[in-house]
Amino acid sequence: NAGVMQNPRHLVRRRGQEARLRCSPMKGHSHVYWYRQLPEEGLKFMVYLQKENIIDESGMPKERFSAEFPKEGPSILRIQQVVRGDSAAYFCASSNNSGTGIGNTIYFGEGSWLTVV
Amino acid sequence: GQNIDQPTEMTATEGAIVQINCTYQTSGFNGLFWYQQHAGEAPTFLSYNVLDGLEEKGRFSSFLSRSKGYSYLLLKELQMKDSASYLCAPRRNNYGQNFVFGPGTRLSVLP
C-alpha cells in the first residue's frame, strides 16, 4: 500500500557497516511491524512497535539488530556490523490498532532491499 | 506460539479453479488474513475471515473453520497475473507476535 513509506528502497553496505532502514506508517496508524524476507523464503516477523514502545521483539536477532518508533518521526530498523547473511528484503507494515476487525488489517510498504557486499 | 502450514507450491492452468489450504494452531485467535505477494513486491491484502464460512470477493473467496483451525483461499477463472505467492496469516488477540505469516504457497498459472 502506497501509504506506508519505506526508504531507502535499495541499500548496499560493506560488511561491518551499519544499515538504517526507515518506515513512515500510513496516516493515522500507530502500530508498526517489521518483517524480513530472504530470497525465495517467507516473511519472518521481527518486531512489533507502537509509538515509543516495543511490544514484541521476539523475532529480532539478539545481537546487532534494534528497532525504535519515536514519538516524532519514522520507525527505524538498525542493523550494526552487517554481514552477508543480512542481505534480504525488509518490509514494514502498519495498522491503526491491534483490536478486532478488518479495520486492523496491516498494510505493507514497498520494502527496503539490503545487499551486503 | 503459532504453527501455520501451507503447501509450498501449486500449479494450475489459466481459466481453472485452485484452492490453497492453510492449517493453523494458535491461541487467542482473532481472524485470519490472506495476502498476495508477487515476486519482488510487497504483500497486498486479499481477504479477512473472523467467523466460520465463506467470504466471496469477485474471483477470490476465502473460507474459515475455527474449530478445525483451517482456512482456504479459492481462486476462480485463473489468470496469468495470479501467479504469485499466497500468504496465510492467523491473527492473535494479544500483543505477542499478533501478525505472523505462514510460509506461503507459490502458485504458477500456466497457459
- A18-66 pLDDT, tens digit each: 999 999 999 888 899 999 999 878 899 999 999 999 999 989 998 999 9
B92 chain-A contacts, CB cut-off 8 A: none
| A62: CB partners within 8 A, 6+ apart | none
pLDDT at A1 over 50: no
CB neighbour burial string for B81-102, b if at least 16 within 10 angstroms, e if fewer: ebbbbbbbbbbbeeeebbbbbb
- Compute mean pLDDT per 10 residues along chain B, 111 residues long, and list them: 88 97 88 93 93 94 96 97 96 72 94 94
Give the residue on B whose Cα is nearest the Cα of A57.
Answer: B97
Nearest Cα neighbor of B37 from B85, B101, B96 is: B85
For residue A60, give the C-alpha cell: 529480532
CB contact under 8 A, B43 and A101: no
pLDDT at A99: 56
Give the residue on A whose Cα is nearest the Cα of B33.
Answer: A105
Q: What digits encode the pLDDT tens for the residues A69-108? A: 999 999 999 999 999 999 999 999 998 875 555 557 889 9
CB contact under 8 A, B98 and A56: yes
